[in-house]
Amino acid sequence: MTSFKALRIHQAGKSTSARFDRITLDDLHAGDSQNTVTIRVAYSGLNYKDALAVTGKGRIMRRFPCVAGIDLSGVVESSDSPAFKPGDPVLVTGCYIGEVLDGGLAEFARVPAEAVVPLPENLSLFEAMAFGTAGFTAALALRRMLDNHQSPELGPIAVTGATGGVGGIALGLLKRAGFSTAAITGKKHQAEYLQQLGADQSEHADRDARHRTRRGAAHMRRAGGRKRAWAQRRTHRQPVRPKSWGTSPCRSM
């Protein structure tokens, strides 16, 4: 195969820079896996983490140079694993691609077979990455809430960081699952947008005003630090013992 285009992050001293390189399959790092799958990439979502990696504003990359892109969808080109054959539509999300292993912002990717998920029948390659890892994260959060016996009768769910990737998709998912939602946002003029996404109510909360926001039955965490601590204090405790999930591998859904 001839060379192909890849968006790689390079390290120069203490800073990093991103540029399009022409590379070959031999340049791709897929870890120590004996079974790798080579994928002709169709789409990769542009994630918060990708933005941090490409701009150098966050320490995302742990190997240099490394192809950016923490997820991808595409078609199998070749496979060492009997689980996949050329032509299979697949997706990969997380599993260290775009951080340690070369990622999805390239024309081709080679990844460990364990990281590859067959594309669900009801999703196109485009849709899988339009939802992307942010959508997958929101879906995992909802699944965990349901496993922990959260139900619409317990009251509305507060979603923080509501205009963001994870928060926005969470609003739609919760609505479809029958929950009412309260979108908590730092943006004053986004009430209509949040309603379109599925919010039943929205509340503007600057750093100090969050303490005045009403109680919810649960909150879907988008934020860390003070915002999460605030939301946890305001969340009703449930009488049931939450189920322990342990580590939830990205490919489990």
Ligand X SMILES: NC(=O)c1ccc[n+]([C@@H]2O[C@H](COP(=O)([O-])OP(=O)(O)OC[C@H]3O[C@@H](n4cnc5c(N)ncnc54)[C@H](OP(=O)(O)O)[C@@H]3O)[C@@H](O)[C@H]2O)c1
Please report whether residue 197 would count as binding ligand X according to CB under 6 A: no
Q: Cβ of residue 149: shortest distance to ligand X, in angstroms?
A: 23
- Give the nearer residue to ligand X in terms of CB position, either 23 or 205: 205
Beta strands in 44-180, from DSSP E residues, in sequence order: 66-67, 71-79, 89-93, 108-112, 117-118, 157-160
Residue number closest to ligand X, CB atom: 164
In eight-state DSSP terms, residue 7 is E
Contact window for ligand X (CB under 6 A) among 3-11, 34-42, 144-152, 157-165? 157-165
Query: What is the Cα–Cα distance from 132 to 47, expressed in whole angstroms?
Result: 8
Q: Cβ of residue 137: shortest distance to ligand X, in angstroms?
A: 4
What are φ and ψ of residue 52, in 5° steps?
-65, -40
Q: Which of 65, 98, 104, 167 binds ligand X (CB under 6 A)?
A: 167
Residues in 39-78 at the binding interface with ligand X, rule: CB under 6 A: 47-48
Q: Which of 133, 156, 174, 199 binds ligand X (CB under 6 A)?
A: 133
Give the DSSP H/E element, type plus range, for residue 21: strand 15-23
Determine contact, residues 102/5, Cβ cutoff 8 Å.
no
N-terminal to C-terminal alpha carbon distance within the chain: 33
- Give the nearer residue to ligand X in terms of CB position, either 110 or 210: 210
Please report whether residue 137 would count as binding ligand X according to CB under 6 A: yes
Q: Which of 106, 222, 230, 231 binds ligand X (CB under 6 A)?
A: 222
What amino acid occupies position 133?
Answer: T
- Give the nearer residue to ligand X in terms of CB position, either 38 or 47: 47
Determine contact, residues 116/90, Cβ cutoff 8 Å.
yes
DSSP tally for the chain: helices H, then strands E: 5, 12
Please report whether residue 103 would count as binding ligand X according to CB under 6 A: no
Please report whether residue 145 would count as binding ligand X according to CB under 6 A: no
In eight-state DSSP terms, residue 166 is H
Residues that bind ligand X (CB under 6 A): 47-48, 133-134, 137, 161-167, 185-187, 222-223
